[in-house]
Amino acid sequence: MMKKISQKIYLSLIVILLYAPIITLIVLSFNSSKTRSRWGGFTTQWYVELFKNEQIMQALYNTLVIALLSAVVAVIIGTMASLAINKMRKRSRNVFLGVTNIPMLNGDIVTGISLMLLFIVCRMSLGFMTVLMAHITFNIPYVILSVLPRLRQTNKSAYEAALDLGASPLQAFFKITFPDIMPGVLSGFLLAFTMSLDDFIITHFTKGPGIDTLSTKIYSEVRKGIKPEIYALSTLLFLSVLILLFIINFSPEDKLRDASKLVTAKQQKTLRRKRMVFRRLIPGILLLTLVSGGIYYGGKNASSGDEQLIVYNWGEYMDPDVITMFEEETGISVIYEEFETNEIMFPKIKAGAIAYDLVCPSDYMIQRMIANDLLAKIDFNNIPNLKNIGDVYMEKSEQFDPRNEYSVPYCWGTIGILYNTKMVDEPVDSWGVLWESKYRDSILMQDSVRDAFAVALKYQGHSLNSTNIHELTEAERLLSNQKPLVQAYVIDQVRDKMIGNEAALGVIYSGEAIYTQSENPDLEYVIPKEGSNVWIDSWVIPKNAQNKENAEKFIDFLCRPDIALMNFEYITYSTPNVAAWDLIDDEELKNNLVAFPTDEMLENCETFQYLGEDVDAIYNNLWKSVKSR
């Protein structure tokens, strides 16, 4: 009796652990509130928004097309390879099988990096074709693994008999051998298709700008903070798998084999209709979806023309309507990609595998890019709207771009502490609150080496541009001591966590603070008295840009007062565009001290400087030491 009860409890726990997250996800997909911590009522809005999101729909179509094409090509090559390997001598066969199995035994990250390096060495631009070639490459071994065992079971005598009766080798293969190995070919196709659908790591390393599969798109979206549309997408993916399982398990194939045992011809007819639905109608619908998607997206790409612009910007850092307006006004197609930190962006620009036309780094990173000769000088004759940028911001830009030859200011702001007034019971005016043990597991730190060290250095009373090894070592010790108190090291996720009351304190950018306060009135932002970082993000053009004039057109477009105002209202980061500031109707927002702090509040603040490769290496090593503890 107790044994049965224990088994039932054990089974129930397994079911709960497996399906509770999925049920939670499904419930959240119908929550009208954007935050996970509050139920705002039932809605299907996020499903509507999902299908309106062309980027996600394009990613879905890319995923299906790449999976289908890679599976078909891998089956053809893998089947031919299996035929060749099967005819080899034992020693040669073992060698080739060993080589074939290497991609399956290798870690995906090794395969992904090696393929990316191969494409770079061959001077191939990363994009759709490189992803497709990578998927074909890692799918072929799985096809061989499925086909070769079936090939060994075929009757060689039947094949030879067909040849003796006058059939050509090709005819004998398709009439005799191919039907025998068909189950292995189909298994290989399904395995390759599934592996391609599921892949993230290899796609991540071999994709180029504007190319996303569902896995890479979901990853990039989640890193910025989970949107309700992702809940809706995940729910639909789960239901799709559930329907496929239902189709497979309830297929009438087995019943048809025993159709002779049925009493009436009517029942046989019903089963044949079901078979037609399962074997023809459903695959036909899937094929129609692929074809119609190809026509739709192919038409869109064709209508965009030859003129294009590849933009590399921070996540959630531009109003999507701005891009649409620019494309409509100029006829230039914008390919838009996002990064999370300067340190992630820099190696991609330096490697030159992808020729971005326009990038938006921060101050110190621009200085570094200039030092590494990665940037092209901007032709300001093509940017008449530069006059709208305030003189004070152009003067500040000279700290990292001495003659203002390479950059145009886009946004500016500060780094400070966002705290929940209902969870923090004391006035917050110092970085020291981030080391208070009573806030253990309720502190969010920025997952950025310079931002994290700026907090520690300023708290000690040092410059955030310190190159003194003793000061840096002490800052590393402080951050290491703080680590047990930290709930998470985050980038954009700090926004959602603070809105959802998941943490009491968080280090955050001022623009994000304005947005979080609009969603949660219990949140306050402060620039600590020890001082902080005043940053400027600016547009630059990489030296290998293929569309420099288009990039300058886009910069000029962004400097228009109405466009700068649209961006400010969407991203809530402070604009250096004084003409746009004059257009702000909301007086409270116009005089918001978080967006536009006073000179007194900025008295102890500094701008990051590029400190050189050697000092950067010291910072990175110390940061690794902090994160590894």
Tell me which range, 83-97, 244-258, 433-447, is most confidently predicted by mean pLDDT.
433-447
> What pLDDT, on a 0 to 100 scale, did the predictor assign at position 127?
86
First-to-final CA distance of the chain: 48
Mean pLDDT of 165-189: 84
Given a cut of 80, whether residue 248 has pLDDT beyond it is no
Q: Tell me the pLDDT tens digit for each residue of 321-338.
A: 999 999 999 999 999 988
Q: Phi and psi (nearest 5°) for 614?
A: -65, -45
The span from the CA of 19 to the CA of 81, in Å, is: 42
Residue 515 near residue 463, CB atoms below 8 Å:
no
Question: Residue 167 has what DSSP assignment?
Answer: -
Which residue did the predictor score with more confidence, 410 or 153? 410
| Average pLDDT along the chain | 86
Return the amino acid letter for 268: Q
> What pLDDT, on a 0 to 100 scale, did the predictor assign at position 352?
78
Tell me which range, 109-118, 271-280, 429-438, is most confidently predicted by mean pLDDT.
429-438
> What pLDDT, on a 0 to 100 scale, did the predictor assign at position 287?
61
Mean pLDDT of 579-586: 92
The span from the CA of 203 to the CA of 212, in Å, is: 8
Residue 316 Ramachandran class (φ > 0 left, ψ -120 to 50 alpha, else beta): left
> What pLDDT, on a 0 to 100 scale, did the predictor assign at position 410?
97
Q: Tell me the pLDDT tens digit for each residue of 138-161.
A: 999 999 999 988 888 887 788 778
Confidence band of 250 (pLDDT split at 50, 70, 90): low
Confidence band of 294 (pLDDT split at 50, 70, 90): low
pTM score:
0.75
Give CA separation, 246 vs 249, 271, 339, 530, 562, in Å: 5, 17, 40, 62, 53
CA dihedral 196, 202, 206, 210 (to 10 degrees): 60
Beta-ladder partners of 418: 506, 525
Lowest mean pLDDT among 291-300, 373-382, 506-515: 291-300
> What pLDDT, on a 0 to 100 scale, did the predictor assign at position 281?
61
Q: Phi and psi (nearest 5°) for 510?
A: -60, -40
- Give 345-398 as a 3 state SS string: HHHHHHHCCCCCCEECCEHHHHHHHHHCCCEECCCHHHCHHHHHECHHHHHHHC
Q: Tell me the pLDDT tens digit for each residue of 54-83.
A: 778 888 888 888 999 999 999 999 999 998
Closest by Cα among 150, 148, 130 to 138: 130
Instruction: Please give the distance of CA 507 from its chain centroid, rounded to a whole number.
Output: 23
> What pLDDT, on a 0 to 100 scale, did the predictor assign at position 280?
60
What is the pairing mode between strands 534-539 and 408-420? antiparallel
Name the H helices within 433-559: 449-460, 469-482, 493-499, 510-519, 548-558
Q: Phi and psi (nearest 5°) for 314?
A: -65, 155
Mean pLDDT of 280-306: 58
Give kind and range of the element (H or E) at residue 335. Answer: strand 333-339
In the block, which residue shows the tokens 């903070």?
A: 225
Mean pLDDT of 513-524: 91
> What pLDDT, on a 0 to 100 scale, did the predictor assign at position 278?
55
Q: Tell me the pLDDT tens digit for each residue of 218-242.
A: 887 776 667 788 888 888 878 877 7
Mean pLDDT of 386-402: 92
> What pLDDT, on a 0 to 100 scale, did the predictor assign at position 288?
66
> What pLDDT, on a 0 to 100 scale, did the predictor assign at position 354?
81
Beta-ladder partners of 443: 486, 505
Q: Tell me the pLDDT tens digit for each residue of 443-484.
A: 999 998 999 999 999 999 999 999 999 999 999 999 999 999
Given a cut of 50, whether residue 302 has pLDDT beyond it is no
> What pLDDT, on a 0 to 100 scale, did the predictor assign at position 14?
82
Sheet of 358-359: strand order equals: 333-339, 308-314, 358-359
- Calculate what percentage of the chain has a pLDDT beyond 70: 89
Tokens of 449: 């080496």
Tokens of 502: 């998941």
> What pLDDT, on a 0 to 100 scale, did the predictor assign at position 3?
72
Q: Phi and psi (nearest 5°) for 172?
A: -65, -35
